[in-house]
């Protein structure tokens, strides 16, 4: 192949296979992947969270926590930023023993009508990153796990919370979201843009675990000028989204 990223190799095991180098732990089956560090810190402080697996990368610690939630064991962790780190941490958490995942994060919006804080359940992701090509054969999109999508939409419908169900654009390069690329992604139906979904979805499919992801509308890339919209200051949205994902996760 002319392009290394397209040289897909489905052979197993890899030289460093997570299940062979990571010792399984007594961890919950259900796990929330939360990109909001301040929310994780608050849950740890207010819900008697305990560390069930230490995990350290060069950027710092990424421990797996556990709480008791509605009579269930629930794990949660911060996956870092970007598909390479978040997908690799997902690999390790799967090797520790978690099997059912719901992820929550923020995103840039490509459609102006998506307000700050409005929710988007990911149904597919355009693969404009690198990780997914090491897990799935080359294709334009990765389709979401229908079980994870159903858990999220059922939870939102029960609470009568409005949401979009649609496609995201996963990119490794937030500072190369050019007007031409934004227009092209909008034309193919992308509602939002972020940096992790395609990679994590590919890992989940490869390892045959359940996975769903919900995002909330953040900065606006739909107009002539970028609008930050102070999206990271929506603390209530971020905390509520964690607990919504907890409910969806334990329903898997």
Q: Which string of DSSP letters, residue by residue, matches 182-209? A: HHHHHHTTEEEEESSHHHHHHHHHHHT-
Peptide bond into 225 cis (omega under 30): no
Domain 18-250 CATH (choose: 3.30.70.20, 3.40.50.1580, 3.40.50.2300, 3.40.1450.10): 3.40.50.1580
How many residues would you count in the chain?
252
Question: Any idea what DSSP says for residue 145?
Answer: P
Query: What is the structure's pLDDT at 105?
Result: 97
Beta bridge partners of residue 214, listed in sequence order: 104, 121
- Angstrom distance (rounded) from CA 201 to CA 197: 6
- Angstrom distance (rounded) from CA 238 to CA 114: 16
3-state DSSP assignment of residue 98: coil
pLDDT average, residue stretch 144-155: 98
Query: What is the structure's pLDDT at 1?
Result: 64
pLDDT average, residue stretch 181-210: 98
Residue-wise pLDDT for 51-71, tens only, equals 999 998 988 999 999 999 999
Instruction: Please list, residue by residue across 186-222, b when 16 or more beta carbons sit within 10 angstroms of its beta carbon and e when fewer do.
Output: beeebbbbbbbbbbbbbbbbbbebbbbbbbbbbbbbe
Question: Domain ranges in the chain?
Answer: 18-250
3-state DSSP assignment of residue 24: coil
Residues near 173 by beta carbon (within 8 Å), at least 6 away in sequence: none
Beta bridge partners of residue 122, listed in sequence order: 166
Residue-wise pLDDT for 76-132, tens only, equals 999 999 999 999 999 999 999 999 999 999 999 999 999 999 999 999 999 999 999
What does each C-alpha distance from 193 to 22, 92, 132, 176, 240 come to in angstroms?
A: 33, 25, 16, 12, 21
pLDDT average, residue stretch 225-231: 92
What does each C-alpha distance from 212 to 34, 54, 55 come to in angstroms?
A: 12, 24, 23
């Amino acid at each position: 192949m002319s392009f290394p990223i397209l040289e897909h190799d489905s052979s197993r095991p890899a030289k460093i296979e997570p299940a062979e180098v990571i010792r399984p732990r007594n961890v919950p089956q259900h796990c929330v992947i939360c990109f909001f560090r301040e929310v994780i810190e608050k849950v740890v402080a207010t819900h008697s969270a305990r560390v069930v697996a230490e995990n350290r990368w060069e950027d710092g610690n990424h421990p797996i926590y556990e709480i008791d939630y509605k009579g269930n064991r629930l794990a949660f962790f911060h996956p870092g930023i970007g598909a390479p780190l978040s997908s690799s941490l997902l690999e390790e958490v799967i090797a520790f023993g978690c099997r059912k995942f719901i992820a929550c994060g923020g995103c840039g919006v490509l459609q102006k009508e998506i307000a700050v804080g409005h929710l988007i359940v990911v149904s597919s992701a355009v693969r404009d990153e690198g990780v997914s090509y090491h897990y799935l054969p080359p294709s334009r999109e990765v389709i979401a796990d229908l079980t994870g999508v159903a858990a999220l939409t059922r939870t939102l419908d029960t609470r009568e919370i409005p949401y979009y169900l649609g496609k995201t654009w996963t990119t490794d390069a937030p500072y190369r979201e050019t007007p031409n690329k934004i227009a092209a992604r909008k034309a193919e139906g992308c509602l939002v843009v972020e940096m992790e979904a395609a990679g994590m979805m590919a890992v989940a499919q490869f390892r045959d675990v359940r996975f769903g992801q919900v995002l909330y509308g953040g900065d606006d890339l739909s107009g002539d000028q970028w609008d930050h919209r102070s999206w990271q200051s929506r603390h209530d949205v971020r905390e509520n989204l964690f607990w919504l994902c907890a409910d969806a996760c334990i329903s898997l």
